[in-house]
Every structure is written in structure tokens, then in C-alpha cells.
């Protein structure tokens, strides 16, 4: 595949997500610009207590059903785990996946981390991950096919513009996929898919998979359906069709929780039956029940589990006289980063929505200087802060220190703005709570932004100048936009009351400013030292055993520890643990992860020792024990064993099949 095409495909999901998000804002602005916060607040207050209780009960049932995904998966993997443990793993993994999108982060890292501690081998955990991911899709296929076949008009947009025969054909295709899976599980034991050999479950287990997933989707849809009042023509099957279409659109957008896209699709689909404020009220409570409350609860539970694990790990490292400070700095689980990015993105979407749906009422009197400062961007400050938070959230996923600082500043600025101008107190409260949850984890965001990496070059100076000019330009537009009612730059861009030249200039200023912000915020390039005999001798001097051939050497932050690596079939493979200063070895491991991400590869370590396995687990890698020849022992229940001293550390579910044929040659070399 050409390099240009690979780069395009690499960024395609992000571009598609942005386009769908922009389209969602356009639809809301055009079709629902009359939305008012007061109307939504009234709709929320009108939801009966009984409906709230029933909806919350469906929510509990939905997460309870998800626990059986993991329970069934561990049985399929040949290592059943107690229900309490699988319930904990399932809740943490699925909460993360629901809130952060499939591409941003999956529950695989959480499952690897938890199940490894409960005795499952990496190959068994890989089976659990694949089984759960596959099961999750069956419910949508079964119910989606049913809706397309029996209620095709319920699908937003498509129901009115796509011929029914075409929808019937798609429905039959969905059912064929599920039926084929069940049939193959009865006839054959394995199937080769995209070069990977997949072991199929028994036909009985496959049927149970399909039933479980179908019930799960139906119950999840019931969470929001219970919140809506009775409406003529809005039956549960029709609502289910709208929900499935909206949820699918959110998955395709690959945004945290389908932010904006799911909500807009629900608004469009339900608008023939209910008033927009009523729909938005139901969406707000649904997100609170299914997304926000579980996210913070799962985060607290997972963090508590990490504290317990690390209390023992720190004692062990201290007893062996290793650098506890270095481990505390570098060994941060991805869950903290992913949850923080998701919460910041949700707050960004909230500020964007507030700017779109209503003008902020007048607040308390302010000092003259503060009033003048805030008046400069009064017309669109909330939505601009929201857009900036979405960029900062992207930076958080890359562990950029400047994104962490910028997120805290933007969250607090949004809270102050809301209080000063009379926005609902719960908005400011949510922003402050998110800032408070993010603030204690500065060490999780260790990467320098390109703005602070090396000397100020043209690639950094130009975006910096562009950002400054865009901010000045946005301030100059404010007097021309006082005719508008809403506090959103989107309203100004789309409003026919604003001259086209102003609209185009405003759109260009915002778009260029956000692009420049990301260029400054993105991580600086991770560098390595090309391989040479000098580098090999330097590693030997640090106590390492470098290979005969390598592509380069990765060094830690202080340059006092490093290890050699090679690029092999989509994997950045390091040889052994980093050699050198104990305080710098951890940073060398994270540098390996950063370089792999930069080059679009997966990190892996061959012949890693036992002492740093916890750190490798923090970057999402699983450890497979090796025999004396450096080949993985296998998937026996006692494979790790108490005497294993060397491991292959990799993303087993993705890279093990590619690495296995290559290891004998590396061992001989």
C-alpha cells in the first residue's frame, strides 16, 4: 500500500469524526435553533419520578447483562473467573469504551491489566477481548435487521429516502452474518480471518452469545425510552430503530460517547413525535445514567484497585532498592489518561451546546476591567472554550503536559464565565469537578508539546503567530455580532443575518486558530540514535547485551539508560530491558511507546526481565514467558510459572501471530 494512502487511512477516522460533529452542529443550528435552556430545564423537571426510577433500573440491568459477556468469555478462554471479578472488569472496560470511543481507547488494556493479576495467560486474555468485542456487535445485527425489515420507516433519514427493498436486503444480510457465525461454530472449530486463526466457541455458546447481546441492546434502549412521555405513533420498535441508527452514527463518528452525533440523530429521529426540549431532557438523563455516573464510578474503583496494587509494588521496589520516585513518575495507567480526556471532551461538548441552544442571561455586576475583557468575546466565548477543550482532549490522549495545563485553565475559565453571566450553576459545577479530578495527575502527562520541543522553528513559529492573529481577529468581530441572540460562533457562521464576508472570515479564523492550537499542542517528535558500533559499546558499558544488528537505540529522558530496537513487520521490537540508570529505565520504556506510536507501529520487548513487567503493563503490553531459546512457552494454565525469568512483552492479541515465526531467527542471530 502506498505511503500516502496509508497516511490518509490513518487519519480518516479522525477526519470523519470531525465532519460528523460539524454536521451535527449544523443540523442543530438549522433545525433546532429555538431551543432554550429554560425549556430544557422545564422538560427535565417534568420527568416523573417513577420514570427516573424505572430508567435507572434499566441502566443497572444493562450493566448487569454486560458482566455476562466477560463471564462467558472466560469460560470460552478455558479459565472461568469468579462473577465478582468479571463484574468489576466488565464494568471498568465497558464504561471506558462507552465514553471514549472505539479508536480512542478500548477496554483491552483494562482487561489485560486485571485478568493478568487473576492468573489468566496473555493468550487467554486475548480470547476474552476478542469474544467480548464480537458479542457486542451481535445485538445490533439482530435487532438492526429486525427494524430494517419490520419497521424500515423508523430509521431517521434513510426510512424516507431509501427504497424498502434495499433495506430488506441489508436486514437479510445482517441476519446471514449472525446465522453464518452460529452455523460455523457447529460445523468447524476454527476460521481464518484477516490472516488470524480464530477458535470458534461451541454452537450452544454462540447461540447464547447472540441472545445475550440482543437482550443487552434492547435493555439499553429502554433506559431512554422510559424517560420519554407517551407520544402518538412512538412505539418501542420505532424508538428502537431510532436509537440503533443514532448509536451507530455515534460509533462511526468515533467521538467520546458519540458526542453531538448521537444526540443530533436522536433529535432528528424523535422530532416527529416529541418537542425538542423533551427529547434533549431525555438525552441529558440518559447520558447521566449510562455515561457520566458510570465513568466517575469506574474511575474511582479502578483507581482504588491501582492504589492497592501499587502499595505492594512500591514496597517491593523499595525493598530491592530501586527508584520508587521514577516509578511514581512514569508508571501511570492509561485509564487515568483516557478517563481524563473523555471528561474534558464531554465538558467541551457541553460548552459548545450551551453556546448553541441559548443566550447566557445577565449575571452579577463585574469590575470594569473584567467586564470589558469578557465582553470582547461575549457573543461566542462558551463555544470557543468548548472547541478549545476538544483540542485539549486530543492532546491529553497523547499525554501532553501543555494539554493538561490548558484543560485546567479552560475548565476554570468556563466555570468563571458561566457564573459571571448567570449560566446554570450545575454547568460551572461540572467544569470545576472535572478540573479537580484532572489536577492530581500531572505526572500522567509527561510529553512536551511541539511548542516547547527544541528551538523555535518555522513549523512552530508560524502556528504560534497564526493563533495570536486569530485571537485578535475574533475579538474584532464582536461588535459586528451583537445582533445575534445566541452565544455561539457557529450561530454567527451559519446565520443569514451576518454578512457573508464576516461569516467566512469568522469561520476561517476559528478553523485556522484551532488547527494552529493543535499544531502547537501536539507532541514533539520522539528521537532515537541510529545504530552503530559506538552505540553498541555504550550499551555494553551500561551493562546491556545489545544484538548484532539493530535499527537504532532509544534513550531515556536523562540519556543514562537505553536499549536497541528493530522494526519488524509492524512492530517496534526492543531487545531486553533498558540498560543503565534505574531512575532512567522507566522513561526509556515510555519513549519506546512514544516512538512506536509516532511511526504507526506497536511496541514490543523480547527477552524482558520480570522486574519491569508492571511498567510494561502500564503501556498496555502483556507478558508471555519464554523458554531457554527465547520462544513463548505456550498457553498452559501455569505458563508464567514461578520460575520464568524472560518474557516476550507485546500486544498479544494483535502482534503475537506475526512475531512467533520470527523469534527463532532472532534467537539464532
Q: Is residue 431 predicted with pLDDT exceeding 70?
A: yes
Q: What are the Cα distances from residue 564, in Å, to 17, 275, 350, 545, 626?
A: 37, 63, 46, 9, 19
Poorest-pLDDT segment among 160-169, 410-419, 435-444, 454-463? 454-463
CA 259 to chain centre: 12
Q: Which grid cell is 271?
A: 422530532
Residue with cell 509494588: 313
Backbone phi, then psi, for 3, in 5-degree steps? -60, -40
Q: Which pLDDT belongs to residue 482?
A: 53
Q: Which residues pair with 647 in a beta bridge?
A: 608, 625
Confidence of residue 309 (pLDDT cuts 50, 70, 90): low
Percent of the chain predicted with pLDDT > 70:
73
Percent of the chain predicted with pLDDT > 90:
12
pLDDT (tens digit, 9 = 90+) per residue, 223-246? 999 999 998 888 898 899 889 888
Q: Which pLDDT belongs to residue 106?
A: 54
Q: Is residue 355 predicted with pLDDT exceeding 70?
A: no
Poorest-pLDDT segment among 313-317, 330-334, 375-379? 313-317
DSSP labels, 102-129:
TTT--THHHHHHHHHHTT--HHHHHHHH
More confident residue, 489 or 57: 57
Q: Which pLDDT belongs to residue 453?
A: 61
Best mean pLDDT range from 68-72, 355-359, 473-477? 68-72
Q: Is residue 379 predicted with pLDDT exceeding 50?
A: yes
Which one, of 67, 74, 69, 72, lies nearest residue 119 by Cα?
74
Q: Which pLDDT belongs to residue 639?
A: 46
Give the H or E element holding residue 553: strand 552-555
Q: Which grid cell is 658?
A: 506475526
Q: Which pLDDT belongs to residue 479?
A: 60
pLDDT (tens digit, 9 = 90+) per residue, 156-197? 666 566 787 888 898 899 999 889 888 888 887 776 654 456
Q: What is the mean pLDDT of residues 111-124?
A: 76
Q: Which grid cell is 386?
A: 468548548
Q: Is residue 483 predicted with pLDDT exceeding 50?
A: no
pLDDT (tens digit, 9 = 90+) per residue, 286-297? 988 988 888 778
Best mean pLDDT range from 202-216, 254-268, 456-470? 202-216
Burial class for 301, CB neighbours closer than 10 Å (0-12, 13-18, 19+): middle
Q: Is residue 314 predicted with pLDDT exceeding 50?
A: no
Q: How many CB atoms lie within 10 A of CB 366?
A: 14
Q: Is residue 215 predicted with pLDDT exceeding 90?
A: yes
Angle at 623 between CA 631 and CA 659, to 5 degrees: 45
pLDDT (tens digit, 9 = 90+) per residue, 414-429? 888 777 766 677 778 8
Q: What is the mean pLDDT of residues 266-282?
A: 88
Q: What are the Cα distances from residue 353, in Å, to 320, 324, 348, 451?
A: 53, 44, 9, 30
pTM metric for this prediction: 0.66
Which one, of 121, 93, 106, 122, lies nearest residue 305 by Cα?
93
More confident residue, 409 or 485: 409
Q: Which pLDDT belongs to residue 365?
A: 53
DSSP labels, 310-366:
HHHHHHHHHHTT--HHHHHHH---HHHHHHHHHHHHHHHHHHHHHHHH-PPPP-S--
Confidence of residue 6 (pLDDT cuts 50, 70, 90): low
Domains of the chain as residue ranges with CATH:
3-298 (no CATH), 332-521 (no CATH), 529-668 (3.40.630)
Q: Which grid cell is 150?
A: 419490520
Q: Is residue 13 predicted with pLDDT exceeding 60?
A: no
Q: Which grid cell is 230?
A: 407517551
Residues 392-431 as b/e (b if ≥16 CB within 10 A, e otherwise) read bbbbbbbbbbbbbebbbebbeebbebbbbbebbeebbebb
List the alpha helices (DSSP H) in 32-82. 37-46, 49-76
Q: What is the CA radius of gyration of the chain?
A: 26
Residues in contact with 230: Cβ distance below 8 Å, sequence separation at least 6, in sequence order: none
Q: Which pLDDT belongs to residue 26?
A: 58
Q: Which grid cell is 516?
A: 494552529
Q: What is the mean pLDDT of residues 636-644?
A: 50
pLDDT (tens digit, 9 = 90+) per residue, 551-592? 999 998 778 889 999 998 889 999 999 998 887 888 788 889
pLDDT (tens digit, 9 = 90+) per residue, 622-634? 788 888 777 877 5
Which one, of 617, 638, 651, 29, lies nearest residue 332 by Cα?
617
Q: Which pLDDT belongs to residue 578?
A: 93
Backbone phi, then psi, for 589, in 5-degree steps? -65, -45
Poorest-pLDDT segment among 23-27, 116-120, 245-249, 460-464? 23-27
Q: How many CB atoms lie within 10 A of CB 648?
A: 27
Amino acid at each position: 500500500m502506498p505511503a500516502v494512502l496509508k497516511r490518509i487511512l490513518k487519519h480518516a477516522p479522525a477526519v470523519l469524526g470531525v465532519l460528523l460533529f460539524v454536521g451535527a452542529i449544523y443540523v442543530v443550528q438549522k433545525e433546532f435553533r429555538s431551543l432554550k435552556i429554560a425549556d430544557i430545564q422545564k422538560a427535565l423537571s417534568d420527568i416523573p419520578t417513577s420514570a427516573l426510577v424505572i430508567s435507572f433500573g434499566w441502566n443497572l440491568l444493562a450493566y448487569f447483562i454486560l458482566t455476562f459477556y466477560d463471564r462467558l468469555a472466560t469460560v470460552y478462554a478455558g479459565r472461568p473467573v469468579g462473577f465478582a471479578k468479571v463484574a468489576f472488569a466488565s464494568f471498568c472496560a465497558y464504561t471506558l469504551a462507552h465514553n471514549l470511543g472505539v479508536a480512542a481507547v478500548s477496554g483491552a488494556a483494562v482487561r489485560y491489566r486485571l485478568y493478568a493479576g487473576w492468573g489468566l495467560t496473555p493468550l487467554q486474555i486475548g480470547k476474552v477481548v476478542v469474544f467480548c468485542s464480537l458479542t457486542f456487535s451481535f445485538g445490533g445485527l439482530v435487532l438492526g435487521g429486525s427494524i430494517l425489515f419490520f419497521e424500515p420507516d423508523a430509521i431517521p433519514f434513510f426510512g424516507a429516502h431509501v427504497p424498502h427493498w434495499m433495506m430488506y436486503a441489508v436486514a437479510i444480510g445482517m441476519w446471514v452474518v449472525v446465522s453464518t457465525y452460529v452455523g460455523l461454530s457447529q460445523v468447524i472449530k476454527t476460521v481464518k480471518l484477516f490472516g488470524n486463526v480464530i477458535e470458534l466457541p461451541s454452537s450452544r455458546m454462540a447461540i447464547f452469545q447472540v441472545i445475550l447481546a440482543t437482550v443487552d441492546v434492547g435493555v439499553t434502549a429502554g433506559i431512554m425510552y422510559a424517560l420519554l412521555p407517551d407520544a402518538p405513533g412512538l412505539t418501542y420498535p420505532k424508538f428502537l430503530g431510532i436509537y440503533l441508527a443514532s448509536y451507530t452514527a455515534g460509533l462511526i463518528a468515533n467521538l467520546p460517547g458519540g458526542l453531538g452525533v448521537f444526540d443530533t440523530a436522536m433529535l432528528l429521529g424523535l422530532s416527529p413525535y416529541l418537542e425538542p426540549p423533551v427529547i434533549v431532557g431525555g438525552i441529558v438523563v440518559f447520558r447521566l445514567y449510562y455515561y457520566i455516573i458510570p465513568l466517575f464510578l469506574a474511575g474511582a474503583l479502578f483507581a482504588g484497585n491501582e492504589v492497592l496494587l501499587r502499595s505492594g509494588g512500591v514496597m517491593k521496589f523499595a525493598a530491592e532498592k530501586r527508584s520508587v520516585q521514577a516509578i511514581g513518575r512514569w508508571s501511570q495507567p492509561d485509564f487515568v489518561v483516557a478517563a481524563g480526556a473523555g471528561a474534558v471532551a464531554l465538558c467541551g461538548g457541553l460548552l459548545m451546546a450551551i453556546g448553541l441552544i441559548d443566550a447566557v442571561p445577565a449575571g452579577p455586576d463585574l469590575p470594569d476591567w473584567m467586564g470589558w475583557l469578557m465582553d470582547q468575546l461575549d457573543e461566542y466565548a462558551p463555544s470557543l472554550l468548548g472547541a478549545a477543550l476538544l483540542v485539549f482532549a486530543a492532546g491529553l490522549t497523547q499525554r501532553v503536559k501543555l494539554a493538561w495545563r490548558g484543560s485546567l485553565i479552560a475548565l476554570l475559565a468556563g466555570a468563571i464565565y458561566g457564573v459571571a453571566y448567570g449560566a446554570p450553576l450545575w454547568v460551572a459545577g461540572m467544569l470545576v469537578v472535572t478540573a479537580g479530578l484532572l489536577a492530581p495527575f500531572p505526572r500522567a502527562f509527561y510529553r512536551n508539546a511541539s511548542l516547547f520541543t527544541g528551538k523555535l522553528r518555522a513549523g512552530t513559529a508560524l502556528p504560534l503567530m497564526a493563533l495570536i492573529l486569530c485571537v485578535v481577529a475574533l475579538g474584532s468581530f464582536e461588535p459586528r455580532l451583537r445582533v445575534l441572540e445566541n452565544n455561539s460562533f457557529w450561530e454567527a457562521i451559519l446565520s443569514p443575518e451576518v454578512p457573508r464576508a464576516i461569516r467566512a472570515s469568522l469561520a476561517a479564523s476559528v478553523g485556522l486558530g484551532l488547527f494552529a492550537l493543535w499544531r502547537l499542542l501536539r507532541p514533539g517528535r520522539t528521537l532515537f540514535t541510529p545504530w552503530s558500533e559506538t552505540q553498541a559499546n555504550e550499551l555494553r558499558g551500561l551493562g546491556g547485551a545489545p544484538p548484532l544488528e539493530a535499527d537504532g537505540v532509544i534513550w531515556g529522558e536523562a540519556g543514562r539508560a537505553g536499549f536497541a530496537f528493530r522494526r519488524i513487520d509492524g512492530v517496534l521490537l526492543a531487545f531486553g530491558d533498558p540498560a543503565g540508570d534505574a531512575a532512567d529505565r522507566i522513561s526509556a520504556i515510555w519513549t519506546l511507546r512514544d516512538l512506536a506510536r509516532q511511526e504507526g507501529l506497536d511496541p514490543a520487548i523480547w527477552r524482558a526481565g520480570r522486574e519491569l513487567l508492571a511498567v510494561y503493563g502500564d503501556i498496555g503490553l502483556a507478558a508471555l514467558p519464554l523458554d531457554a531459546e527465547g520462544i513463548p512457552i505456550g498457553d498452559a494454565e501455569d505458563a508464567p510459572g514461578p520460575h520464568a525469568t524472560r518474557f516476550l512483552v507485546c500486544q498479544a492479541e494483535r502482534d503475537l501471530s506475526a512475531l512467533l515465526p520470527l523469534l527463532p531467527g532472532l534467537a539464532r542471530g
